[in-house]
Structure 1
Amino acid sequence: MPTHDPIDLWRRPERSGVGPKPEHSRTGIAAAAIDIADRDGLAAVSIRRVAAGVGAGAASLYRYLKSHDELIELIVDTVGGEYDLDSSGAPPAVQLLNLARQGRDIMHRHPWLAPLLLTRPSLGPNGLGYLEHALSALRTVDMPGPTKLQTVAMLTAITSAFVQNELASAANYGTGPGGANVRLDYLFEVVQSGKYPLLAGALTGQHDPERPEEVFTRVITNYLAGAGLPIPAVRPPA
């Protein structure tokens, strides 16, 4: 069992009222760590390497962070600041769909993020700001508070799982010459064999493959509808 919870980071002021002025900031430390994670993966993020990135000794970085776990807590919350939490007055489901789309974009910019959000969502200022905004979108929805929290948590979980699948497919299967998807080509060959008539029937009449963002929108829209938050139909102009 860990003896230190990284959530303690947010209980401490960034700068103490006593002692010398800090040479570094959480913002600078987070930026260096995120740069390393984006380029080389989360496993490459160490106290020593981040310290080198900000021009400090590894030991001195412990003046700002008590552990490697606090460093991870810091960067997860920092990238959470990339959301645009604009209250547009749109219907609840539309606001949540917008948050999910933004989340997908953020996770693609930071490929290490999606798995972390399934296991250790941040409770730092940006994480709490996101949660407060998502709950404000559900303010007029008639459901208990805990159910609203579960709805938002599932939205994040589905988005994270979707992005992980996208990234794994790109890394493991990629594309063939000319950009053709190798797996789609294989599936076409299998269907043409006649051994799988039900699968062939399910694919009959299918046009060009949907773009990933279209699939993602459908997945999130179906989830929200199942949670009692259907996307309002858009009326054609009169």
Structure 2
Amino acid sequence: MPAHDPTDVWRRPERSAVGPKPEHSRNGIATAALRIADQEGLAAVSIRRVAATVGAGAASLYRYVKSHDELVELMMDAVAGEYQFEVVGEHPRGRLLNLAQQGRSIMHRHPWLAPLLLTRPSMGPNSLRFLDSALAALAPVDLPGPAKLQIVAMMSAITSAFVQNELSSLPPAGPDEGSPARPGQHLVEALQAGEYPHLAAAMAGHSAAGNVDEQFTSAITNYLAGAGIPA
């Protein structure tokens, strides 16, 4: 039997044409799940936990989502609704950079999102609106459709990987346990030992490469330039 497709949630009407009005909505369920995930991480999100948060029984919540994967699908599409799709600038590279910068901000607001986007796409209306907006930015570029889709996918992957690296570099949350090693301290000590001269030279330039916002802008623009997207 094939695995359940979480995007099936979008193929079902949210409200039946007959019967009483539903007590809950997909948006309300997603909002409750997001609150849990943002505060405690994605692992804390379950059908039972979300049901308790919205004041429903776990069994009744299955009338709205058929599985945990469908619940995550609603969450991913809800955060995609935070994009602003108005046209910013006239040139494809600038418009795509704006979407990437928005994506980075969204992933920082929802730290569980970045690794998820690298492993599973969302097919909800907000997610498809993002994809359509990115392709609209690429409309003037003389490339076939599959190549444009690949460019958008790579830009999103770079953004997700960049944010994951940012978040992993932050000090761990929680009670202070003495003076833990700084993130990256092992790398610093290894470079100081002199065994990796080429890496040390590259990292020396990295320290002067500007702040993290500039580094992100550089990463995206360099990729888009290499892909032939005009500024």
TM range (shorter): 0.7 to 0.9
1:58 aligned onto 2:68: no
CA displacement, residues 51-95 of structure 1 (integer Å, 9 cap, x when unaligned): 011111111101111111110111001100000111234200000
Q: CA deviation at 1:3?
A: 3.6
Alignment partner, residue 26 of structure 1: 26
TM-score (structure 1 length as normaliser) = 0.85
Q: CA deviation at 1:184?
A: 6.7
CA distance in 2, matches of 1:61, 1:203: 51
1:83 aligned onto 2:83: yes
How much is the aligned-residue C-alpha RMSD, in angstroms? 2.6
TM-score (structure 2 length as normaliser) = 0.88
Runs of 4+ with >4 A deviation: 189-209
Alignment partner, residue 149 of structure 2: 149
Higher relative contact order (CA 8 A, sep 6+): 2
For 1:41, give the aligned amino acid: G
For 1:120-199, list aligned pairs within 5 A.
Answer: 120-171=120-171, 183=184, 187=188, 198=198
Q: CA deviation at 1:135?
A: 0.4
Indicate conservation of the 8 Å contact 2:171/2:183, yes or no.
Answer: no
Gaps of 5+ in 1: 233-238
Alignment partner, residue 96 of structure 2: 96
3-state SS of 1:88 partner: coil
CA distance in 1, matches of 2:203, 2:64: 56
Q: 1:207 to 1:171 in 2, by over 3 A?
A: closer
Alignment partner, residue 227 of structure 1: 227
CA distance in 1, matches of 2:18, 2:220: 49
Q: CA deviation at 1:210?
A: 2.3
CA distance in 1, matches of 2:205, 2:42: 43
Q: CA deviation at 1:183?
A: 3.5
Identity %: 66
1:211 aligned onto 2:225: no
Q: 1:22 to 1:161 in 2, by over 3 A?
A: same
3-state SS of 2:81 partner: helix
Gaps of 5+ in 2: none
CA distance in 1, matches of 2:116, 2:6: 14
